[in-house]
Amino acid sequence: MEIWLEKLFQKLERKFDAECSRIGDKIPYWTEDGEYKTDYAEKNMNWWTNGFWPGILWQMYHATGKERYRQAAEGVERKLDKALWGFTGLHHDVGFMWLHSAVANYRLTGSTESRNRGLLAASILAGRYNPAGRFIRAWNPDCVEEGQDCTGWIIVDSMMNIPLLYWASKEVEDPRFYYIAKNHANTVRRTLVREDGSCGHIACLNPDTGELEKILAGQGYSETSSWSRGQSWILYGFALSYRYTGDPVYLNTAKKTAHYVIANAALTDYVPLCDYRQPAEPAYLDASAGLCTACGLLEIADHVGAEEKRLYREHAERIVKAIAETCCDWDPGRDSIVQNCKVDYHSTGDRQTDLIYADYFLAEAVLRLMGKEFLIW
Ligand code: GLY
């Protein structure tokens, strides 16, 4: 084991141990004055990031065997039932919520209750499929601005949610979920991935035909720019779709996007900008995009020969090292690790901030590099 990785893992464990004692089965999103003051179980049970804390806990349970991580993760999973049974308010991001909680639990402990939660979440995601347009729709009317109709909208983030469908298909030994995931991936590739490996965030499709009507900037700078976290969703998401389908088109899509991202991230010493085509000032960074990219590069590395593997692993290491050295708060007395993230290029309320999913992807990247990860997707 390389020493820098061992040291990094020790720092992660110290930090997550301390956080687990402080927050247990509360649901964190971001800090206020270095503290997870708001419990999303109270603020918004449907919030798309509510699975990332249990995701961290299951990764740490798998890596260390510490029971306290498992207990806290199970506590969050039970709370999420309110969202699952509430149904209204759920969205395209249910994969992020239940792959990291219930499905992770089932995969590690065999809990049938957790398996059922996962299958129910998969059915909710599959229920969002539009067979005429061959896509899984994003959001609900109350999530978009007044006057906007999102019936035909798809977003790149969805690529990280469809592994829930691949899992469900295998679990119930029925290809229905698989075909929904594959048809959706094909629509995302056709409409949002550009020739040069960059991508848009939102595609507005005709809901009756699936025909592309327009692209929207979404959380990126503009409709023709490239939002860096969206790039990482595409890169990692297509690599995962390759894992589950073996379709070489998906691996090539992941690689093409990876090459674009690597070239751009290198220009800012491997801590990505919020958008690779944003103006020079303000120079917003998004470390969460870097860490999700690192995990995606390591996923690609799992599917290529030895020579190519080096390319992806080497760049994943550069990203993790750069972020661990320049963007992290390692003080166990304070909550959150990764700083310098951004939710949305144009939002004014969010400063350069910490985000719970950045910490999740840091943990996953470090564990992947150590060969100690648990595949949650
Ligand atoms: N899924 C929303 C985001 O990446 O911010």
Tell the burial category of 230 from Cβ atoms under 10 Å away from its Cβ (0-12, 13-18, 19+): buried
pLDDT at position 148: 86
Q: Nearest Cα to 315, choosing from 303, 299, 328, 330?
A: 299
Q: How crowded is residue 65: how many other Cβ atoms within 10 Å of its Cβ?
A: 9
Written as one letter, the residue type at 271 is V
Residue of 46, 48, 162, 293 with the most ligand 1 atoms within 8 Å of its CB, for mutation: 48
With CA atoms as reference, report the closest residue to 124 among 153, 173, 159, 89. 89
- Tens of pLDDT, residue by residue over 306-345, are 999 999 999 999 999 999 999 999 999 999 999 999 999 9
Centre of ligand 1 to C-alpha 136, Å, is: 16
Sorted by sequence, the CB contacts under 8 Å of residue 330 that are 6+ apart come out as 11, 14, 15, 337
Q: 269 burial class (0-12, 13-18, 19+ CB within 10 angstroms)?
A: exposed
The residue assigned the tokens 């899984």 is 136
Interval 194-205: pLDDT, tens: 999 999 999 999
Which of 25, 39, 93, 149 is catalytic? The answer is 93
Nearest CA owner, ligand 1 atom 2: 157
pLDDT of residue 350: 66
Residues 295-317: pLDDT tens digits?
Answer: 999 999 999 999 999 999 999 99
Average pLDDT of the chain, as a whole number: 97
Q: 250 falls in which pLDDT band (50, 70, 90)?
A: very high
Distance of CA 80 to the CA centre of its chain: 18
Please tell me whether residue 227 adopts helix, strand or coil conformation.
Answer: strand
Judge whether 275 counts as a catalytic residue.
no
At 47-94, the pLDDT tens digits run 999 999 999 999 999 999 999 999 999 999 999 999 999 999 999 999
Could you write out the DSSP letters of every residue in 105-165? HHHHH--HHHHHHHHHHHHHHHTTEETTTTEEPPS-GGGS-TT---TTEEEGGGGGTTHHH
CA distance 233 to 231: 5
| Confidence (pLDDT) at 56 | 98
Residues of the chain with pLDDT > 70, as a percent, come to 100
Amino acid identity of residue 79, one-letter, is K
Domains and CATH numbers, the chain: 3-370 (1.50.10.10)
349-373 tens-digit pLDDT: 767 999 999 999 999 999 999 999 9
Q: Ligand 1 centre from 93 Cα, in Å? A: 9
Helix/strand/coil for 341: strand
Which pLDDT band, with edges at 50, 70 and 90, does 185 fall under?
Answer: very high
* pLDDT of amino acid 145: 85
First and final C-alpha spacing in the chain: 25
Supply the pLDDT for residue 6.
97
pLDDT by residue (tens digit) across 87-144? Answer: 999 999 999 999 999 999 999 999 999 999 999 999 999 999 999 999 999 999 888 8
In one-letter notation, the amino acid at residue 178 is Y
Please work out, in degrees rounded to the nearest 5, the angle formed at the alpha carbon of residue 161 by the alpha carbons of 155 and 165: 125
What's the 157 CA to ligand 1 centre distance in angstroms?
6
pLDDT at 176 over 80: yes
348 DSSP 8-state letter: S
Cα 10 to averaged position of ligand 1 atoms, centre (Å): 29
Average pLDDT over residues 246-264: 98
Q: Any bridge partners for residue 285, and if so which?
A: 273
Work out which ligand 1 atom sits closest to the CA atom of 157: 1
Alpha carbon of 40 to ligand 1 centroid (Å): 16
From the list 5, 115, 23, the residue with the least C-alpha distance to 371 is 5
Q: Which atom of ligand 1 is nearest to the CA of 344?
A: 5
Question: Which of 343, 350, 355, 357 has most ligand 1 atoms within 8 Å of its beta carbon, as the pocket-test mutant?
Answer: 343
Check if 336 has its Cβ closer than 6 Å to any atom of ligand 1.
Answer: no
Eight-class DSSP state of 230 = H
Tell me what pLDDT residue 142 has: 82
Q: Locate the ligand 1 atom nearest the alpha carbon of residue 49 and give its number.
A: 1
The catalytically annotated residue of 25, 33, 157, 247 is: 157
Nearest-atom number in ligand 1 for the CA of 48 is 1
Of the chain, the percentage scoring pLDDT greater than 90 comes to 96
Q: Are 371 and 313 in contact (CB under 8 A)?
A: no
Question: Is 157 known to be catalytic?
Answer: yes
Q: Does the beta carbon of 313 lie inside 6 Å of ligand 1?
A: no
